């Protein structure tokens, strides 16, 4: 039993995958003590997992879906994540319901639809899946590839060279990059499912965004920052559509 500090919650520092790798190394003759230190798994845990008393590695009651069926569900989540249409909790629950409707089996769900308890246990059984807040991108942006970006820069260089302005690219004060960020006035906090450790989680928008406050920043390659441009939504624009007033900060920090 690992040492537990009083009044502190204990968390395992190893996964089921670590245990399986450790057991494989023990099978090929590696000493139990060495494997225990390597994977930071208590020796008692490894000894129990090797014994005949061990039954299953899952949390709580036996899961309704088998390990292979849950793995198919995980792969479905990952494939949708790659396509920019990440799945939410409701999508997973509905998918399981459709599966059980087509392949009936005894379960405690209401109308074959799993609830919150099953969903949380599913995430614990599959730690490679985690909940994240997605970043919305347009369909056009989602189709831009690395080759498209490199081609664009090459075309810019060719154009400047043909006009006799190639030296611009050698002056860092004349090379600039601009990007904008927005603050949603009516933010949505719905979580989506994605692979654990994914740095960026995008979601292709399927409708117009709600009202936002947009701020654009421009930086030079030399490290200078130009005054930001702020795009406010006006009272009239909020009623009539996409019109907005544009403001810019002057050198004294005032709007102009």
* 147: DSSP letter: H
Classified as helix, coil or strand, 195 is: strand
Task: Supply 149's token pair.
Answer: 């970006």
Could you tell me the pLDDT band of residue 246, with boundaries at 50, 70 and 90?
A: very low
**Segment 109-168, tens digit of pLDDT:** 999 999 999 999 999 888 899 888 776 666 666 677 788 888 888 998 999 999 899 999
* 113: DSSP letter: B
From CA 117, how far away is CA 136, in angstroms rounded? 29
Please give the order of strands across the beta sheet that includes 229-232: 176-184, 212-220, 229-232, 245-248
Stated as kind and residue range, the H or E segment containing 47 is helix 43-50
**Segment 46-105, tens digit of pLDDT:** 888 887 666 555 555 667 888 889 999 999 999 888 877 888 999 999 999 999 999 998
Query: Of 195, 202, 191, 197, which is closest to residue 126 (Cα–Cα)?
Result: 195
pLDDT, residue 58, reads: 54
14 has pLDDT over 60: yes
Could you tell me the pLDDT band of residue 240, with boundaries at 50, 70 and 90?
A: very low
């Amino acid at each position: 039993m690992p040492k537990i500090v009083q009044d502190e919650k204990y968390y395992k520092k190893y996964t089921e995958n670590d245990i399986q790798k450790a057991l494989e190394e023990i099978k090929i003759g590696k000493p139990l003590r060495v494997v225990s230190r390597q994977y930071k798994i208590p020796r008692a845990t490894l000894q129990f997992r090797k014994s005949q008393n061990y039954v299953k590695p899952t949390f709580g009651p036996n899961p309704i879906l088998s390990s292979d069926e849950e793995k198919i569900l995980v792969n479905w989540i990952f494939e949708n994540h790659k396509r920019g249409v990440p799945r939410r909790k409701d999508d997973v629950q509905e998918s399981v319901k459709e599966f059980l409707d087509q392949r009936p089996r005894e379960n405690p769900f209401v109308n074959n639809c799993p609830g919150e308890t099953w969903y949380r246990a599913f995430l614990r059984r599959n730690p490679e899946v985690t909940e994240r807040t997605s970043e919305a991108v347009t369909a056009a942006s989602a189709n831009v590839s690395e080759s498209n970006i490199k081609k664009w820069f090459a075309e810019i260089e060719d154009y400047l060279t043909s006009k006799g302005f190639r030296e611009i690219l050698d002056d860092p004060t004349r090379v600039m990059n601009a990007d904008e960020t927005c603050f949603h006035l009516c933010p949505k906090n719905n979580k989506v499912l994605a692979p654990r450790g994914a740095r960026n989680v995008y979601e292709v928008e399927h409708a117009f965004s709600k009202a936002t406050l947009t701020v654009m920043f421009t930086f030079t390659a030399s490290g200078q920052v130009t005054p930001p441009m702020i795009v406010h939504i006006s009272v009239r624009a909020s009623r009539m559509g996409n019109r907005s007033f544009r403001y810019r900060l002057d050198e004294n920090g005032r709007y102009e």
